[in-house]
Amino acid sequence: MRELRLAIAQSSGELEGPEERMGWLETKLKDLPYQQIDLLLLPELFLTGYNKGKKLLEWAEANDGPYAKRISDLCKEFNLAIHYGFPERLDGKLYNSAQCFDARGNCLNIHRKLILPPGFEGDHFEAGQGCNIFELGDFKVATLICYDAEFPETFRHMADQGVELVLVPTALGAQWGVVAKKLIPTRAFENGIYVAYANQAGREGDMNYLGASCIIAPNGGELARAGQDEEIIFATLQRDAVQKAQERLPYLSDVKRIKF
């Protein structure tokens, strides 16, 4: 599969709890042209919502919990991969996690947020360790969650290992427009890779989301960009565009020649 057909579902922050969110997802899948989609990317903590305080612990589950099994079943029913965020309960600890199931319902990857930003996350979650690379078709893929993606070091580490697509579920507030509109395209451009950035929309309690989910090409150009409201965006990724971008601007090799 030299190309990957990607969709991002920018969901509403007003969806309340796992059952309502799963119902929303099931409805959207029935309306999607799913025969033409290989991967659906959902936001950070999609399963529960982000700004939920202690409810995150109440709604948390293991990575093979009941809701994970329902999403795995949806992958098989609609013949597409789904990548989503959820609060993961593991060994008595809580992680801000994301996982991807393929079209056969198999788990391809689990990523636990590496860097917890200032604010409530540090009071609720443990920081994860490591970034795993997984394959979706012919693409080498990795996950970074929200704040993870705001460090050039994380992207460069992935790109140096041959990653061609970084999936970034996020819960970005409206005051951080520079991240979605400037920083994320820069991360794609400076590494010559695709970046898919999936945010939430609307309000969730006292938090106002930016929206502005996007799919960015290896040359830094926008393939698709959402507005401020609930929306689904689409793009077809061409694997050879990564090689062309990295040959045109060999940042990954030339940076090793710098002497300070």
Angle between helices 152-160 and 184-191 (to 10 degrees): 30
What is the pLDDT, as a whole number, of residue 122? 86
What is the per-residue pLDDT across 157-182, written as a single tens digit (0 to 9) for each? Answer: 999 999 999 999 999 999 999 999 99
What is the per-residue pLDDT across 12-52, written as a single tens digit (0 to 9) for each? Answer: 999 999 999 999 999 999 988 756 899 999 999 999 999 99
Hey, what are 247's tokens? 């040959």
Catalytic residue among 75, 100, 146, 214: 146
* Residue 16 is among the residues annotated as catalytic for this protein: no
Buried b / exposed e over 67-101, threshold 16 CB at 10 Å, is: bbeebbebbeebebbbbbbbbbbbeeeebbbbbbb
What is the pLDDT, as a whole number, of residue 34? 58
- Reported pTM: 0.97
Catalytic residue among 44, 61, 164, 204: 44
Closest CA to 97 of 158, 27, 18, 43: 43
Integer Cα distance of 125 and 76 in angstroms: 31
Provide the pLDDT confidence category of residue 1 given band limits of 50, 70 and 90: low
What is the pLDDT, as a whole number, of residue 36? 85
Integer Cα distance of 251 and 245 in angstroms: 10
Q: Are strands 3-10 and 39-41 parallel, antiparallel or unpaired?
A: parallel
* Residue 113 is among the residues annotated as catalytic for this protein: yes
Distance in Å from the first CA to the final CA of the chain = 42
3-257: CATH architecture? 4-Layer Sandwich (3.60)
Catalytic residue among 61, 100, 113, 164: 113
Domain ranges of the chain: 3-257
